[in-house]
Structure 1
Amino acid sequence: MTHLPKRVSITEVGLRDGLQIEPRILSTEEKLSLARALIDAGHTSLEVTSFVSPTRVPQLADAAELLAALRGTPGVELKALVPNVRGAERAIAAQADVLVFVLSATDSHGARNLNRSPLESLSELRGIVAQALAAGIRIDASISVAFGCPFEGDVPVERVIGLASDVQQLGISRVTFCDTTGMATPRHVQALAQALRDKMPDVDPAFHIHNTRGLGLVCVLVALQKGITRFESSVGGLGGCPFAPNAAGNVCTEDMVYMFHEMGIETGLHLDRLLEAAHLAERLVGHRLEGQVLKSGPRLSLRGHDA
């Protein structure tokens, strides 16, 4: 537990990755109420939506409207996930602050989730980089199934590093490594974090961990110990990939923030307001969420003798 960072940064992905698998379609106004609650809790980086086919992911059909309503929020970076050229064009037209281009680490997941292989995604990314630069918009990359694929099993670290290197050569320095269906273990996280440190010191990595099998926060802790300081998480633990079997939710934002704060690590977020946002998310989706702090409160939430 030595040499831990004093501060980490967190991107909230609940509005996109969190809601995309929910059966109840939220209205734009409902999403805005959740976005504003998250911003009030201190979030400065929100993955707001994704410009994907509305027939495949109807929950995100209002991507442009949601971005328009939030545009210009002081101090808040609005990100939009894009899987292809058409999605990038729509996101640029909607004036997203950041495009997050997603590509898969395996052919099987790429075919099912993106309808293209990793090599085909890289080819498409070259043109998107030029468009984003012309529009003055930053572009990040997000590598899916970086810690394991539900169709192919373990993904070699060398393959992930090679793909990240290809992305870096296109001028992209911020890369998120995604545990898309919760297959990561502490061993996988440690191996990838160490390889990034050894082989790609100029890349600014973020880890996006899911809690499908209960190892989410363990993996976050291991990543932290290996020098990762950027993370993605979802309010209440919402989320999952709609195109992969048995996918479950992301690491819960409030639980992760609680852990960091108890370790003396700053996040810039207010836990009490995050819990309020999580309660709002529960009401909006219409079912209980998986966050543990949401259920029990922080450990020093003292109660009277008669409670």
Structure 2
Amino acid sequence: MKYIISSLLLFAGITSFAQSTKTINQSGNPLFPGWYADPEAAVFNNKYWIYPTYSAKYKEQVFLDAFSSDDLTNWKKHEHILDTAAIKWANKAMWAPAIVEKDKKYYLFFGANDIQSDNEVGGIGVAVSDKPEGPFKDHLGKPLVDKFHNGAQPIDQFVFKDKDGQYYLIYGGWRHCNIAKLNKDFTGFDPFDDGTIFKEITPDKYVEGPYMFIRNGKYYFMWSEGGWTGPDYSVAYAVGDSPFGPFKRVDKILKQDPTMATGAGHHSIIINQKKNKYYIIYHRRPLGDTNGNHRETCIEEMNFDAQGNILPVKITKEGVKAQKVK
């Protein structure tokens, strides 16, 4: 009997060690507990950061949390880096953050109030902090974008820095996407040469959740398709020669796996330049879960073929291997 108990204890120890080793070396999916969606990823001060939507009913979406990691596997939660107490004009549906560092300040762009017309208060706001973990305060005291331009609902903002150092706001829901040239202090916009502020760059089948990056001189424009509460939420992309396109849809590269999870979409990208590694951060839904707000933040490696096409991403439970920034 003692031999059996000792053997069982030894086996349990070996199993525990194997699990802890896997935890250390593999991220696993989801990356952290809790319902979080629309993850914006960034690298600041040799740390990985994720800024997601707190996934709940709109009236409960009144704050944003952040998560940081040294290696993509162990994540530290930073609670309430921004909430509606700091944004007087926002009262619900604070979501889909985007963040950039400029001149030793961190600027957090966010959507609030889910406005349905130009007659409502809300849209895209900007908050600022001296640290990536906040706390953030309102940069303008009012929304940066509070109207519908070219049919785009003012949500799902992404801030893109071009090769020449110019920052652009790329945003839009309701199947329309705009690009606008941010001014130097992010308090507004500089007009384009033709005098316009918002240019539409909507590709075929675009719904929401834009993201852009440059690789080998080409501009990769990505977005989400399908309905955010449905199983077929997904990510597609196009490639262009400038941030204005034109962008012709190439293919869908991230979607549900009925054996793994559904509703895989609204993503961002981490690029480790030194290791030439690309990671896609996205949210998905547990199998069989019908609650629209039950979304989890996950990660996979993203690869390219010899022609520069993004290869289809396989969604997994394992996630990615541990990877330091440097």
TM-score w.r.t. length of structure 2:
0.31
Q: Which has the higher helix share?
A: 1
The answer to which structure, 1 or 2, has the higher relative contact order (CA under 8 A, 6+ apart) is 1
Q: Which has the higher strand share?
A: 2
Query: Which of structures 1 and 2 has the bigger CA Rg?
Result: 2
TM-score w.r.t. length of structure 1:
0.33
